[in-house]
Amino acid sequence: MPEKKGKVVLAYSGGLDTSVAVMWLTEQGYDVITMTADVGQKDVDLQAAKSKALHSGAIKAYIFDLKKTFVENYVWHSLRANAMYQGTYPLVSALSRPLIAKTLVDIANKDGAIAVAHGCTGKGQDQVRIEVCATALNPKIKVLAPVRDWHFTREAEIEYAQKHGIPVRATASSPYSTDDNLWGRSIECGLLEDPWNEPPEDAYEMTANPLEAPDTPEFIEIEFENGLPVSLNGERMHGVDLILKLNAIAGRHGVGRVDMIEDRLVGFKSREAHRAMETLTLDKQVLKSKRELETRFAELAYEGYWFSPLRESINSFMLDTQKYVNGVVKMRLFKGQAVVRGMKTSKSIYRHDLATYSEGDAFDHSAAVGFINIWGLPVRTWTSTWPRQDEAEIPIEA
């Protein structure tokens, strides 16, 4: 018998990797506690995962429905920040990993575990996110990564599982590696590893092919309060239900497909509506600074710095701006596109009498003369001192 090393809390999905990890960690001398969380991923069965974990050798198995927590404490913060890594990736996996890490650490603290563990390989970004987040919450906690450390092939894992009586479906695996939750689904590997290849249709599950989507556009209305969507087509909904409903509607119209080198994914498309409402309710300078901070927010979340002081400080700025973002956005969903077709709010900074060129124009046009004179003064001052010589004159013929 190996020397007892203490308790470890393992993030457990019930798949081949983590099922084998339970027994492997036990053989290394750890008492394994598993944690399985439902964050809206497909085909999750918490009770089945608990039973399998205990059968695989875990001394205790925790299961949690964390969809509401995931939306309120992670997804909504991302939406307020319009967070898109590299302007494209909606942070599907990056948002769930801090929650998973926090839950692992909370259990470890409660049950006196010396370590937490995950089933990530040594290639992906998720290992960074979980480990950085876990140690940010408890700098003394040890993090184990059995899948990264043991270098098993899939065939060796299956043989190991069968030898130890761990039930696995030893069938040919999907050619794709996927990760999904309420906020979307990421797809990689297989044909997608060659950037010349177009993503095949069998890689998608949440969205219809835009070319085969309904020939009639569908209009929806999303109402925002304090920057968060609270109703769909006039029906108030909690966050989880609203996201699921919008995923279904948008998916039917082929809306939400993103193809990029880092990941291929699909996701919830309320972000365009949110950003549109901000243009109607936020000051120009606030918007400019917010757009800059949105990029940094997304980078921090992607890189595993969710629990960093900078991400939390940026989040405070986002929260303050969102108290003004209230109103309704009308969107048209059609053949893979979600287009804003109307907005209304009682707190708009848009004024018709200042914007119109027609009757009722209240703008003082004479003020433009003085404004232009002052605005151009720095350039005129510079030119009078240092005449421009970097451009040839344009030949003009009569």
Q: Which among 17, 31, 179, 180 is annotated as catalytic?
A: 17
CA distance linking residue 79 with residue 81, whole number of Å = 5
Structure tokens at 33: 């506690």
Contacts of 388 (CB under 8 A, 6+ apart): none
To the query of whether residue 97 is one of the catalytic residues in this protein, the response is yes
d(CA 272, CA 246): 13
Rounded CA-CA distance 296/134 in Å is 21
Check if 177 is active-site.
yes
The answer to whether residue 17 is catalytic is yes
Q: Are strands 218-225 and 60-65 parallel, antiparallel or unpaired?
A: unpaired
Residue 255 has φ and ψ, to the nearest 5°, of -90, 135
Residue in 126, 179, 180, 263 annotated catalytic = 126
**CB neighbours of 216 closer than 8 A, spacing ≥ 6?**
none
The sign of the dihedral angle between the CA atoms of 155, 121, 131, 269 is: negative
Strand partners, 60: 33
Label residue 183 exposed, middle or buried (CB < 10 Å: 0-12, 13-18, 19+). Answer: buried
Query: Among residues 177, 231, 308, 348, which one is catalytic?
Result: 177
Alpha helices in the chain (DSSP H): 16-27, 46-55, 67-70, 76-80, 92-111, 126-137, 146-150, 154-163, 239-252, 271-281, 284-302, 309-322, 352-355, 367-375, 377-385
Catalytic residue among 13, 31, 80, 97: 97
Half-sphere exposure of 113 (CA within 13 A, CB side): 29
Residue count of the chain, please give it: 398
**What angle is formed at CA 42 by the lines to CA 133 and CA 249, rounded to 5 degrees?**
105
DSSP letters for 10-62:
EE--SSHHHHHHHHHHHHTTEEEEEEEEESS-TT--HHHHHHHHHHTT-SEEE
Do residues 268 and 256 make contact, with C-beta atoms less than 8 angstroms apart?
yes
Q: Which residues are catalytic?
A: 17, 97, 126, 177
